[in-house]
Structure 1
Amino acid sequence: MEEEEHLFNKNFISITVINFAVYLVYYLLMVIIAVIAQKQLNASLGEAGLASGIYIIGTLFARLLIGKKLELIGRKQILRYGGIAYLITTVAYLYMPNLAVLFIIRLLNGFCYGMVSTATNAIVTEYIPFSKRGEGINYYGLSTSLAAAFGPLIGLLLLTYTNFYTVLIVSIILIILSTIGSFVLPVQNIEVNPEHLATMKSWKINTFVEKKVLFISFLGLLMGLAYSSVLSFLASYAEAIHLVQISSFFFLVYAGAVTLTRPMSGKMFDRFGEDSVMYPSYIFLTLGLFALSFTTVGWQLLASGVLVGLGYGTFMSNGQAVVLKTLKTESHRIGLGLSTYFIGLDLGIGVGPYILGELKNYITFQEMYLVAGILPLVCAVLYKIYYNPSKVTKEIKNEMHNLTKRPQQSNVAK
């Protein structure tokens, strides 16, 4: 179709907007739920932290199960009925009589979010021409990055000037709109041949995770762990160094840096290969975290936000593009591959606060950010040693050659 030859076709734009709404609700609630647990349900600090973290557990379960079942059940069904379930579990926040109920709601809400986001991440690949995979994924990734920036800001502002009920109503409206959009969007399910179908139905480990992208997923885990130091502890750190007011702009400059550089990094990926964007992402995140450790004034805090955005924001989308490149000839494995990749990112962000929080008992905030800043350097070294872009490209060419050869052999046999 002519429409599909262009990157900004209506389907690509629609799924990107749907993804933005899904992630915006996630961040809207994530940033305030611990406060609500403490104020409304008298939760301890540890219980409030669990109320936030249990959401990630639900998301991880969804990525494991839905990544496996995505092509079996169908992308269309997972997106649409997952959206309805996401709506129901968000409405459920209106009834939270005690902590036990809140924990159950958070777990189920996280699972439903994982369902929908796993579907959108796979569906968008069908609307991106392969020659523009880097550029397309980076534009699509803007929906996630902007949600990560504006979600916490909007959530905190609404909670400050209104109440939790208002935040919920806004979240419910956003999910209703995104769910309606998912029913209007023409989603095509992937046809799976009998051989692949039998493999997907088995309970072997390779039906839950895509082994070809385990390495980039492991790097995602380390990068997510490093970034969690910002996501979880920036507010406390800003209070400790007396920069609370200006810290509210940290994620805005983060989003600005990502928005301005995403198109360029995507084009660099397509033209010069993954090395041209992956190495800078490791370096920028290290510089951003090191800059945070030495921050004493407002402009330094904001400058570190720019560097962190250039680092983690660039890695997140281009790591996804690496997955698409690796699985170019296996479209039926793309959903599982993307699920595996996001498991790495989610796991890093999920366990990071606990690991770094325990470490914080023995060191200062400044030292914690120095430790976190070493992790991207470790990623750069591992990437250099174990990832070979030319080898991946060669394997893809060989697989494509074999695919084009098979029909000819079949015809000869006939």
Structure 2
Amino acid sequence: MDKPKLWTRDFIGIAITNFLVFTTFYYLLVTLPIYALQELHGAESEAGLITTVFLIASILTRPFAGKWIEKSGKYIAFITSLLVLSAASIFYFIPQSISGLLILRFFHGIGFGMATTAIGAIVADLIPDSRKGEGMGYYGLTLNLGMALGPLFGLTVMHQAGTHVMFIINALCSLFALVAGLFVKLPKKTIMSERTIERRTGMKIGGYLENSAIPVSLVAAFFALIYSGIVSFVSIYAKEHSLMEVAGYFFVVYAVVLLISRPFTGKWFDVFGANTIIYPAIVCFAVGTFLLSVSNTSLLFLSSAALIGLGWGTAFPSLQTIAIQVAPPEKRALATATFYSIFDLGFGIGSFTFGIVASKVDHGSIYFYCSFLILIGIGVYYLLHDRISSRSIVKKIEKKIS
């Protein structure tokens, strides 16, 4: 029997759209802090706030976007979000102060929160049930490619052509995302009323968090506090250490190692369990951050990227998988939303905090202390998940024996 087709025009369209949305996200993530410091003459704390404001807007928007999708439909929310992203990208030419840029970032974050929520809901409808794992794997790959190419492209354009060209390309990418989105057609599905959804899932529409996913989501948020400082300020750190010629490649090495390792670590997760993967990944993440703190050569700098990619790139999807596994099957979508919302909150707080601390302490010292903070995360993971999970397993075994 032939497999149902995966690579339809609609799936390709949504994949391209997702790739461009995340490419522009990472494109601006690494370039705007430099732009704020050099051209708008902002402080380190204000540079960190640029990312924090964006993510706060995204976090606040997601629950309302989810409700809007239920009432108005996925396609309307999807196209509206792409229009907001395109408008925000065009307006980057206007702000001439940090306060103006922060207002625009908040508006842009609203569009990003809407878009990621709508895209995630749509792609699940487009992938055949029998090829869900394969389809979601390719869908996730578009995010990883955006994470790799966005920073490299952004830093290259910024330093060789200037910020004006940088903003033009950013606007064009957002417009291309809108065009790709217009070609996506959704399969016709029965729209359930709120009462039907509540009856089938036991979940009230007003409920925005899945309780079972909160503990492991808090673990992810703890590590996001640190990772945000790496991804938001590594380009500034590279400039301070005369490593700008390889700064963009930091994310390429990170993503390549992540993509190569993920198939193996995913299988090991299934065979040996989460703890066998996550504990070594945390240590690897810590070692990579330590190497980053002492990087004075291109080799050390890119080696740290590889270890951080292997460590955090393994820990993050593993924690996300746990969040989905601990939730009832009918609440896995809510568990995923819970995980990303709490993670983004940690990321936003970390970026802002890192910016404040970096104004008083050099980046190398911060990364040095962060490497030990990551090791403390082993205890956080044990207390919030491993210990509780082990007790649950013991209780199940005792129940079966009795």
TM-score, normalising length: structure 2? 0.81
Structure 2 residue 110 is matched with structure 1 residue 108: no
Distance in 2 (CA, whole Å) between partners of 1:258 and 1:175 is 26
Q: Secondary structure at the match of 1:96?
A: coil
Deviations 1:203-257 (A, max 9, x none): 4xxx222223212321220121121231134334445555444444221211110
Contact 1:139–1:263 (CA<8 Å) still a contact in 2? no
What's the counterpart of residue 94 of structure 1?
93
What's the counterpart of residue 180 of structure 2?
181
What's the counterpart of residue 377 of structure 1?
378
What's the counterpart of residue 404 of structure 1?
none
Contact 1:79–1:120 (CA<8 Å) still a contact in 2? yes
Q: Secondary structure at the match of 2:329?
A: coil
Q: Measure how far apart 1:100 and its partner are.
A: 3.8
Distance in 2 (CA, whole Å) between partners of 1:131 and 1:269 is 22
Deviations 1:54-88 (A, max 9, x none): 21221111123224444333332222221112112
Distance in 2 (CA, whole Å) between partners of 1:230 and 1:136 is 30
Cα distance change, pair 121–74 in 1 and its aligned pair in 2 (3 A): same
Q: Secondary structure at the match of 1:31?
A: helix
The letter of the residue matching 2:223 is M
The letter of the residue matching 1:26 is F
Distance in 1 (CA, whole Å) between partners of 2:78 and 2:53 is 22
The letter of the residue matching 1:235 is S
Structure 2 residue 36 is matched with structure 1 residue 34: no
Which of 354, 369, 380 does residue 352 from structure 2 map onto?
Answer: 354
Q: Measure how far apart 1:8 and its partner are.
A: 5.7
Moved more, 366-375 or 155-164: 366-375
The letter of the residue matching 1:60 is I
Distance in 1 (CA, whole Å) between partners of 2:275 and 2:131 is 16
Distance in 2 (CA, whole Å) between partners of 1:129 and 1:276 is 32
Distance in 2 (CA, whole Å) between partners of 1:375 and 1:7 is 43
Q: Measure how far apart 1:18 and its partner are.
A: 1.7
Q: Secondary structure at the match of 1:186?
A: coil
Moved more, 148-157 or 284-293: 284-293
Q: Secondary structure at the match of 2:186?
A: coil
What's the counterpart of residue 216 of structure 1?
216
Distance in 2 (CA, whole Å) between partners of 1:3 and 1:176 is 34
What's the counterpart of residue 71 of structure 2?
72
Distance in 2 (CA, whole Å) between partners of 1:3 and 1:130 is 11
Q: Measure how far apart 1:353 and its partner are.
A: 2.8
Cα distance change, pair 33–187 in 1 and its aligned pair in 2 (3 A): same
The letter of the residue matching 2:382 is V
Distance in 1 (CA, whole Å) between partners of 2:52 and 2:208 is 22
What's the counterpart of residue 303 of structure 1?
303
What's the counterpart of residue 368 of structure 1?
369
Distance in 1 (CA, whole Å) between partners of 2:190 and 2:280 is 35
Cα distance change, pair 175–296 in 1 and its aligned pair in 2 (3 A): closer
Aligned length: 386
Distance in 1 (CA, whole Å) between partners of 2:390 and 2:69 is 29
What's the counterpart of residue 258 of structure 2?
258
Contact 1:68–1:208 (CA<8 Å) still a contact in 2? no
What's the counterpart of residue 140 of structure 2?
141
Distance in 1 (CA, whole Å) between partners of 2:181 and 2:391 is 35
Contact 1:86–1:175 (CA<8 Å) still a contact in 2? yes
The letter of the residue matching 2:310 is L
Distance in 2 (CA, whole Å) between partners of 1:43 and 1:66 is 32
Distance in 1 (CA, whole Å) between partners of 2:100 and 2:36 is 11
Q: Secondary structure at the match of 2:192?
A: coil
Q: Secondary structure at the match of 1:32?
A: helix
Cα distance change, pair 75–379 in 1 and its aligned pair in 2 (3 A): farther
Q: Measure how far apart 1:280 and its partner are.
A: 4.3
What's the counterpart of residue 168 of structure 2?
169
Distance in 2 (CA, whole Å) between partners of 1:318 and 1:165 is 40
RMSD: 3.4
Moved more, 36-45 or 295-304: 36-45
What's the counterpart of residue 399 of structure 2?
none
Cα distance change, pair 91–229 in 1 and its aligned pair in 2 (3 A): closer
Distance in 2 (CA, whole Å) between partners of 1:244 and 1:366 is 18
Contact 2:48–2:351 (CA<8 Å) still a contact in 1? no
Deviations 1:7-57 (A, max 9, x none): 666654443322111011111122222333445544444444433432122
Distance in 2 (CA, whole Å) between partners of 1:136 and 1:22 is 18
Contact 1:261–1:310 (CA<8 Å) still a contact in 2? yes
Distance in 2 (CA, whole Å) between partners of 1:125 and 1:390 is 31
Q: Secondary structure at the match of 1:187?
A: coil
The letter of the residue matching 1:21 is L
Deviations 1:157-189 (A, max 9, x none): 111222333222222222222223223223346
Distance in 1 (CA, whole Å) between partners of 2:191 and 2:2 is 22
Distance in 2 (CA, whole Å) between partners of 1:272 and 1:187 is 38
Moved more, 259-268 or 157-166: 259-268
Contact 1:121–1:335 (CA<8 Å) still a contact in 2? no
What's the counterpart of residue 317 of structure 1?
317
Distance in 2 (CA, whole Å) between partners of 1:274 and 1:13 is 32
Moved more, 256-265 or 34-43: 34-43
TM-score, normalising length: structure 1? 0.79
Q: Secondary structure at the match of 2:209?
A: coil
Cα distance change, pair 118–279 in 1 and its aligned pair in 2 (3 A): farther
Moved more, 114-123 or 316-325: 316-325
Q: Structure 1: state its 5+ residue gaps.
A: 395-414
Distance in 2 (CA, whole Å) between partners of 1:135 and 1:326 is 22
Q: Measure how far apart 1:262 and its partner are.
A: 2.6
What's the counterpart of residue 196 of structure 1?
197
Distance in 1 (CA, whole Å) between partners of 2:254 and 2:142 is 13
Distance in 1 (CA, whole Å) between partners of 2:161 and 2:56 is 30
Cα distance change, pair 169–244 in 1 and its aligned pair in 2 (3 A): closer
Q: Measure how far apart 1:116 and its partner are.
A: 0.4
Sequence identity, in percent?
27
Distance in 1 (CA, whole Å) between partners of 2:25 and 2:227 is 17
What's the counterpart of residue 388 of structure 2?
386
Cα distance change, pair 341–381 in 1 and its aligned pair in 2 (3 A): same
The letter of the residue matching 1:192 is M
